[in-house]
Every structure is written in structure tokens, then in C-alpha cells.
Structure 1
Amino acid sequence: MFRAILFSFIVSVSLSGFSKSNLKKPNIVVVFADDISAREIPVYGSSVWSKPPQGGNSSDERYRARTPVLDKLANTGVWIKTAWASTVCMPSRAMMMTGRYGHVHKWWNNKDKGIWVNGDGKKESWPIYESSPYTNAFVAKAGGYATLWAGKTQMGGVDQFGFDEGVFTPGVHDKENPYTDFKILMTKKDGKKVLLNTDTGDEVDYYQQFGWYWQPHVELMNHPSCKTKFEIWPNTPAAKASYGLHTYGPDVELEFVFDFMERKHKEGKPFFVYHTTHLGHDGWDFFSADTQKSTRQKWPGTPKIQWKNGRYYRTEPKITGDKGKYNTHGTVTEGGIHHHINYLDYQMWQYLEKFKVLGIEDNTILIFCADNGTSGYGKNSPVSQKGVHVPLIIYAPCLKMTKSGEQDILVNIADILPTIADLAGVDIPTDYEINGQSLIPFLTTRGEEHRSWIYSYHKEMQLIRGENVMIDGKGKIYNVSDYPEDLISFPVIDDWSTVPEEYNQEYRDLLKILPKFDLHDIAHDAPEGGIGKVAPLIVR
């Protein structure tokens, strides 16, 4: 009941507040990549990166990503040297969606989430939209923005977060998808639970999934082509005729993003796009007959692309075969996270080209970041900052930023939501806890500091970092005053006489901050009765 009232209020504010002034608000696109450490992006200058097929450390240039567009965005916009997320997907996505840490929304880890009793009296994981009703979409909508969520979800109740439209890969009702058998399903065989590749019928050592790369599972929400709120795609004769083995999920996402941008631009509405791409995440390589975990390719190949004379060229994929025996005819790359990052760079180029076509290149903000460290390296790690150090690039020509290029500041992914609120002209009630801090004051003034510390968490473990001192999830203390070549091998502080006294003081100050957030063991679940009423958002 409370959420229905809240939604009605936000919609009424958005509609009543929409005027010509809204047209001047910048469009906002947030591209939230999956499982990509800062070290994988060349502009961060790491001496080490990940390698195929299963990850690990490499300095082999063959596996180094090539990102001319991200490099340009980083150097003409800004790139943040030290940006932290959480150590794994779900708590990071909760942080991005809400601007809050785990002590509030209770998503401590993928398999460690706070419990509440729902309206039917059943215990379940506390939904993010119940713990934190002011999601990034609701904040943007209050400011008059049209909103789209494209890509990965990992959150139930996708229609409860405030997005007008969605294109989800995979979707909400994938078991009903008749168009693809690219899925790994848990089933029973001889009385035991096993995972089957439904394309081949082979038992595999993996995890249940519906394919999001090649011949993907896609579901639309509230798209103009939909007859109902949710529809499996392809859902038109033209889409069904073109869909096949060559259809690549990240391409489908971007096609619908561009369709949304075109429509909203014609309607004269600013838009907020939340693009949660799968690129960077592992996935079953359905084109490979190899089902052995020891040699399985973690990052399936992408369509081939080429950067030449200041633009990208893409080879149209051609794939033939069935039931695990496929021929890609030289149109698909070998596996590797570097190819995923290269394809992300291609998509950033596509975004910029689309902005130019629509005539909005000077009024659109593009934010590129990731949710946690790379699988096989940092993902799920509370050690040092392996799991939490992610790339963050902000390209915003309309902001008239006072900064450009590398910014040696501390930023948390929770900072994105209040940044969106600032851009949208929306004030969040002061009694509604937001742990993020807007980046706009730093980006548009001569101020040299954004935050004095950043925080993250991994289940019951806590990580915190200041300018010179870091405490990781294992309680180990590091001197982080200078970055090592691999971005991770900071010297351990085990003798305080070897560092300045100000470092010791900083350490003591950091310890004073942690108790506020250290609620995993004493307030793990939702508070009884939920959060109660919250004050309304205010449009400036």
C-alpha cells in the first residue's frame, strides 16, 4: 500500500513538474559492466591483467584489451583512479540502485541477504524496492526523466523499481521462451539433481543459466510492441525472421536502448538509461563442444570488430550448426575478457555516434563503471582491494567540468545515485539515509577532494580506505599512499614506526567509522514492520 502511494506521488510530481526547463536537463546513460576490475581497462595502467580461458594474471599483450574510445572518454572526461564497489554482483547492484550500503538494504552477498516477512506472511529475501524505495529510476522520474533498464537484472520484481521500460537478458519468464534452447537447467536424472546443457542434452559442471550472449533469452517490459507488460522477444514477424544463432545479446540490448532514446528525444523528454550489460561476465560457450570445467572458456567470443581510421567496423556474424556442433565461419573472436572489453569499447563508440545523430552529444552524460572485480581474480575477494576496485569513467561535456583526465580521488558506486539526483534537480529527504555523495560539486568546482574515505563489505567483512591507509576484509592494514604497478600489491603496515604519525591517526579515524555499518551479525534482517513512511522527494 505504501509503495503504491509513493509511486503515485512520484509520478504526479514528475508530470506536474515537467516543463520546458526539463528539456535542458542532461540525458543520463549509465553503463554498468559485469565483473571487470579496474586493471583490465588500459587507461588504468596496470602491469597485469586477466587471461583466457579461466582467468588469472598475465602481462601478455595478446590478452590486453584495446580501448581507443574509452581512452578518449577518460581523457576528455574524467577517470577515477580509486572507485570501489562491493566484491560481488548483487550487493554492488543494490548499492548502485539505492545509493546505500548493506547495513540499510541488507544485501550482504549474493547468497547472504536479509530476510523479511512479506504481505502473504512468507519469509523471503528483503526486496530492494521495499528496503530502499528511492531507487535511481524513481529519483530520475521525479525529475521528469523517462527511464529504461536494459540488460542484466539479478533482482526480483523488475517492474517495481520505477523504470518505464525494460529489455532484460535473460528475462523474467525464461522457462517459457520457445525461441532458444541455449540454457543450462537443473533437472533430475536417476533421482539426482544434475545440470544439463539443453542444446546437447549433456550433463555439465556449471550453474543454471539462460543464455545471454548468443541466441539469447530476451524479454521486454512495457515496450510499444508489447501487448502485455512482459513479452518474450522476438515478438514481431520481422524480429522472428531475423533472430537466430547469429543474434548477439549485447547487440539486442543496444538496439532497444537506441529505440528508446529516439522515441523519448522526439517526445522532448530527457532520458535515463541504466544499461547493465553482461559483458565481462562468464557464460556457457554454447559454440564449443568442450564441456570440461578445467578447459572451458570462461568468456565466450564476441562478434569480430576492427578499429580503423577513427571508427569501428563490425563483421556480421555467420554461424551454422546445431546441438553443440557449430561453425562460426571466422566471424567470432576467440574467448577472453579482453574481447568483451573491446566489444564494450565498440558499444561506447556506438553510443557516441547515436548521440551525434540525435543531436544530443552536448547534452548527454555517459558514465561507464563495473560492479566488482574480474572473475578468477578479484570477484568475491575481500583481500586488499582486489574485489572492489572497479573502473569509473565520466564523460559529460554539458557539465563544463573543471576537471579532466585522471582524478586521484576516492569514489564509491553508491555516489552515482545522488549524482543522478543532482543532475535531475531532485532533493532526497534528509531523514532518508543515503551513503553516497554527489560527484557534481567535485566535477564542477575547484575542490580537490570528493571523499576522505570509501567503504565496502563482503558478508560480515568490512573494507575501508582513506588517503593513505586501507583496512581490508581480513583486517590487514596497508599503506596505500602510492599505487603499485599491478594496482594491488600495497605494502602491509605491521610496524607503525615505519610510517608517519598522520597514517596512524587516519587508521584510528577509519576504525571509528566502521561500527555504524557493522550490522551483519546484530541486524542482519529487515527491521520488523519494514521502513515505515518516508518523506517525499522534492523537485527543485
Structure 2
Amino acid sequence: MRHVLVALLFAASSFAAKPNIILILADDLGAKELSCYGNTLHKTPNLDKMAAEGVRFETHFSMPLCTPTRVCLMTGQYGFHNGFLGMGDKAFTPQKQSPKAEMGNHFTHADLMKSAGYATAQAGKWQLSGTLPTLVRDCGFDEYRMWAYDHNLPAGITHPAHEKGGNAPRYWHPSIVENGQYLPTKAEDYGPDLFNDFVIDFARKHKTEPFFIYYTSVLTHSPHLETPDPANPGKRWPATFKSNLEYLDHLMGKLLTSLKTEGLDDNTLVIFIGDNGTGGDGKATLTELGARTPCIIRGPGLGVKAGVVSKAVADLTDMMPTLAEFSGATLPKDVPFDGHSLAPVLRGEKEKHRDWIYSHLDDGRVLRDTRWLLEIDKGGKGEKFFDCGESRNGAGYKDVTNSTDPEVKAARQKFASILAGMPEPKPHEGMAAKEMKKSKADKKTKGMVKEGEGEKPASTSTPSPASMKDRDVRFAFRDQNKDGRIDHDEFMKTASGKDPTANEARFKKMDRNQDAGVSKEEFLNEK
């Protein structure tokens, strides 16, 4: 039925000249990391130039964690419609018997673009459902080059290299599947280069027809390894978050230059956003720091204004109707969509396209308009209400949670009315939400959130996990970024054992599904 719907939309669409669209999703990148958003430590000249030549949204919300963001972006729906309220807690993701559990059952942005006659491609991180040989293509993509976990590889194929902890690598000597086939790589191959090259090649091959590329960058997710040094072939930049971000910026510059070289620049809409707040500094928290991501949109020949810093609030759900408006595609009327097209703001026709934006994780929620911000932690705990004034970066926010001022009370009543119009996020019947320990990022006061803030070392005053007898407590301690799983770096840093080899072996054994992390279920059920 899904494919019939796509075919009918395809037949009904107009095939006049259409703009190309490249939608870029950076991994673990909060807005505050880019210099065009005020960061004074990181140099991002290519993204800054893209912002200067297009529209930069001061306040754009993603979900605070990877999977709900990716599903929301691909479907144009909040979790109460697409089923993915969260990620690590099974009480808030579709149950196995639910059709929503498989991404191929959803109407996606790639399906939308194919209905308008677009060639479609995906490059980079997938990390969603599906199996070979139809993996990724189930979701409307003609071609793809994806970072592949071991379980994504074709039968009989073993990738020769692995990161610490046994994860198939995304960076050096990357594990890659392209259009269902294993792509052999070498030790000196750098994954982000190969994904960027695929995007450039796909655009070049399809320059005579409209194309849509969903570019899901693996940068800037940990591990933050060395990157190539663009100015000195054979040499490398140091293994830091800063280097990883600045190399991502280099790749964005290379991509934009290629569009000009191929004569595609004027007729290509390029969208750059992040999937959640920065890892270890916002990610997985029910705060604006966890939800606020960069959003830069450029289309010089498509009516997109240049040099605009927009105060309009926007979120992930706005991308689907925006793609529809620019491509001329028709959104199916029997599918609910939660966003509003950004096109009027991009073209300078309106200052705003909606009144509020929304982010969620499990049963926690974040709601914002141009002035007020509501943060509700998981389980309805720790509700906070802020008067942001004209600020958009956390600086100077006033905590008015307990205020009885009539203006504050009216704003809270308005927000309560908005939330009452949505289904309340709850765990599946018969299931309880996981107890999650509050993270350091959760505890930051709003006036302390500053642009240009650097990475901070982990505290050394936390007790050793060996002293924690309760495994739930130990899991909460070892899951230091509070994303519901213990990644390899967290596992090794918090291990009570002193033998690195034994710790590596234990991590590999506990990571039963080989997804580069230990879930709470895997941790509690260790044999």
C-alpha cells in the first residue's frame, strides 16, 4: 500500500524544473559549537559562509537523542505519531509487533521526493531498522553508502578492522556497505571523506535531473579520533572534538565548492542541521541545551534570502513540508504531519511560520516560543519555566518557575494548553519507564550556558563503580552522558578492573547486539 501511495503521488506531480536538495544531519552537534552561533574556540569558516549566504535560525530544536531525531526528520512527525518517543528505553519505542518498528513502513522524506520525480540517495550513518538486501532502499532511497555495523554486512563478510570495544569503525578503515554490497576499504581511508565523495559523485551523476540527498554525517560523534590535515596530506589533526568539528566544516566547504564547479549551486537548496545537543554537554537531557541545534539553509537561486539571522522558532518537523514546497511534491492527506514550511521565512515573506516548537525524549518534554521556555524532565520531574527575553543561547534566562506574576501565569497557561492538545507521552501498557540518574548538563543553571564554552574534563570525585553494589546504580554511574547506554569510552573509563585487555573482552561480550554500546538490559543481564 505504501508503494502504491508513492506511485500515485509521482503520477500526480509536475515535472517542471525542480531544485536539487541536500539535507545534511551532523551527529552530536549543538548549535553553540559553530562560530556563526558565537563560539570563539572553534573555527567553522565554511558553515559561517553558508550562513552568510543564506538563513541561519537562532532557535532550532531537534530531539535530545539520535533515533527519535532521525525518525522525526524522516517522517515529519513527533514521536506520538511515529512511535519513537525515545531510544534506549523500550517503554518508549515501538514494540516489535508494531508496524511502526520498521522504518520501511513509514512514509519518509525520500518517498516524498521520489513522488516528485527525484533521484534519491543516503550517505553516512543509518542506525535504523532494516535488513539486506532492501536496507535503506525500503525507505525510498535509490542509492546509498552507509557506515555498517557487523550485523549490517552481507552474509559471509567480516570487516578486518574494529574500533576499541569491537565496533565496526566509521572513521579510519571504515566499514561500509554501498547499495547492498560490501565496499572494501584500507587502513588509510577515512570514512567521512568517502561519504562526502559519494554525495559529490551522486550530485554530479544526476546533474541533469532533480536529486535529493540525505547526508547523515558520522562527524562529530565520539570517538573523537585524529582527522586528516587538509593542508598537509599524510599528516593529521589531533584527536579532539575541535578537530572533528573543523574537519566537518572542511568537508562542507568541499561539497559547496563542488556544487559551484558542476554548475549546480544556484539550483540547489542545502540544509545543515544537527541531530541533538553536543555529546557530554547537552545530549540526552530534557533541556534547551539538549535540543537546540544549528539550522542553516542556503539556496542562492531559489529565493532564499542571504545574510538573514532569523528569530523564527523552528524544529525538525518543519523539514518535511519545506521539502514539499520547494520540490512541488504533494504531502499525502491520510498521513499526519506536525510541522510548517519554512519557505515563507526563507524567502523573506514572513518573520515567523509558527508560534512554538517542541522536543521530547521518553516522557520528558521541552516546549518553547520566541520568549518562554518550558523543560519537563522524565517522569514529569524537575519542571522548569524560563523567561528568555530576547536571548536565544541560554545567557540571561530568568527562572520564573515559582513566579506568581500575571504575565508568567498567562504564559504557563498558554503552554499548558499547547501540551493538552498533544497525546501525553507514556510508557507502553504494562511497562515502566527506566529510572535515569540526572546528568551534570541537566543541573546547569541557565545563566551559566555560554557560547564559546569549551569541553570540560570529567570529575574525578565520583566514587568508583566497584563500591556500588546495586547494578542499577552502577549502570547510572557508568552511563556518564545519560543517553541510556554505556559506550566504549565510558565503559573503559569507569571499569573497576585494571586489566585493559580483560575490560575490552568484557565490553565485547556484554555488547551482544554489537551496536558499540551496552544497553541497560545488556548490563543487567550480564552472564
Structure 1 position 337, deviation (Å): 1.7
Residue type of the alignment partner of 2:24: V
Aligned residues: 416
Structure 1 position 9, deviation (Å): 4.3
Per-residue deviation, residues 447-494 of structure 1 (Å, max 9, x unmatched): 11122111111111111011221110231001112327x636622004
Q: Does residue 82 in structure 1 map to residue 59 in structure 2?
A: yes
Residue type of the alignment partner of 1:270: P
Per-residue deviation, residues 24-74 of structure 1 (Å, max 9, x unmatched): 21100011000001110111115xxxxxxxxxxxxxx6xx22111111111
Residue type of the alignment partner of 1:338: K
User: Of the candidates 385, 399, 403, which is equivalent to residue 477 of structure 1?
Assistant: 385
Cα pair distance change 1:523/1:514, threshold 3 Å: farther
Map 1:49-448 to 2 at 5 A.
64-112=41-89, 113-116=92-95, 118=97, 126-130=101-105, 133-157=106-130, 158-170=136-148, 172-173=152-153, 176-184=156-164, 196-197=165-166, 209-221=167-179, 230-234=180-184, 243-265=185-207, 268-283=208-223, 299-305=224-230, 314-317=231-234, 331-383=235-287, 385-402=288-305, 404-448=307-351
> 2:174 and 2:314 mapped to 1: Cα distance?
34
> 2:21 and 2:298 mapped to 1: Cα distance?
10
Asked which structure has the greater RCO (Cα within 8 Å, sep 6+), the reply is 1
Match of 2:394 in 1: 487
Q: Is the 8 A contact 1:168 1:220 kept in 2?
A: yes
> 1:503 and 1:492 mapped to 2: Cα distance?
11
Residue type of the alignment partner of 1:81: E
- Find the residue that maps to 2:301 and give its secondary structure: helix
Cα pair distance change 1:340/1:495, threshold 3 Å: same
> 2:421 and 2:428 mapped to 1: Cα distance?
11
Cα pair distance change 1:403/1:259, threshold 3 Å: closer
Per-residue deviation, residues 114-144 of structure 1 (Å, max 9, x unmatched): 33454xxxx79722332xx320100010111
Cα pair distance change 1:418/1:174, threshold 3 Å: same
Decide which structure has greater helix share: 2
Decide which structure has greater strand share: 1
Residue type of the alignment partner of 2:360: Y
Q: Is the 8 A contact 2:101 2:129 kept in 1?
A: no
Match of 1:322 in 2: none
Structure 1 position 403, deviation (Å): 6.0
- Find the residue that maps to 2:219 and give its secondary structure: coil
Identity %: 28
User: Of the candidates 19, 26, 33, which is equivalent to residue 19 of structure 2?
Assistant: 26
Residue type of the alignment partner of 2:389: S
Q: Is the 8 A contact 2:52 2:306 kept in 1?
A: no
> 2:360 and 2:228 mapped to 1: Cα distance?
36
RMSD (Å), alpha carbons: 2.3
- Find the residue that maps to 1:387 and give its secondary structure: helix
> 1:339 and 1:253 mapped to 2: Cα distance?
18
Q: Is the 8 A contact 1:418 1:436 kept in 2?
A: yes
Per-residue deviation, residues 207-260 of structure 1 (Å, max 9, x unmatched): xx2110000000011xxxxxxxx10003xxxxxxxx421100011111111221
Structure 1 position 505, deviation (Å): 2.1
Structure 1 position 504, deviation (Å): 3.1
Per-residue deviation, residues 392-443 of structure 1 (Å, max 9, x unmatched): 0001112223463211110001111111111111221344210111101222
Match of 2:380 in 1: none
Match of 2:365 in 1: 462
Cα pair distance change 1:177/1:96, threshold 3 Å: same
> 2:58 and 2:145 mapped to 1: Cα distance?
32
> 2:343 and 2:259 mapped to 1: Cα distance?
22
Cα pair distance change 1:441/1:170, threshold 3 Å: same
Structure 1 position 506, deviation (Å): 2.6
Residue type of the alignment partner of 1:477: F
> 1:261 and 1:178 mapped to 2: Cα distance?
31
Cα pair distance change 1:512/1:276, threshold 3 Å: same
Q: Which moved more, 1:468-477 or 1:372-381?
A: 468-477
Residue type of the alignment partner of 1:142: S
Q: Is the 8 A contact 1:180 1:216 kept in 2?
A: no
Q: Is the 8 A contact 2:14 2:328 kept in 1?
A: no
- Find the residue that maps to 2:391 and give its secondary structure: coil
Structure 1 position 282, deviation (Å): 0.5
> 1:111 and 1:402 mapped to 2: Cα distance?
40
Match of 1:39 in 2: 32
> 1:182 and 1:511 mapped to 2: Cα distance?
48
> 1:71 and 1:464 mapped to 2: Cα distance?
28
Q: Is the 8 A contact 1:386 1:488 kept in 2?
A: no
Structure 1 position 178, deviation (Å): 3.8
Cα pair distance change 1:231/1:476, threshold 3 Å: same
Residue type of the alignment partner of 1:26: P
> 1:376 and 1:13 mapped to 2: Cα distance?
43
Q: Is the 8 A contact 1:114 1:125 kept in 2?
A: no
> 1:182 and 1:522 mapped to 2: Cα distance?
36
> 1:403 and 1:212 mapped to 2: Cα distance?
35
Structure 1 position 516, deviation (Å): 3.5
Residue type of the alignment partner of 2:359: S
Q: Which moved more, 1:426-435 or 1:211-220?
A: 426-435
> 1:354 and 1:12 mapped to 2: Cα distance?
34
- Find the residue that maps to 1:168 and give its secondary structure: strand
Cα pair distance change 1:522/1:170, threshold 3 Å: closer
Q: Tell me, which stretches of 5 or more residues in structure 1 are unaligned?
A: 47-60, 185-195, 198-208, 222-229, 235-242, 284-298, 306-313, 318-330, 526-540
Cα pair distance change 1:510/1:344, threshold 3 Å: same
Cα pair distance change 1:124/1:510, threshold 3 Å: same
Q: Which moved more, 1:362-371 or 1:332-341?
A: 332-341
TM-score computed with the length of structure 2 as normaliser: 0.74
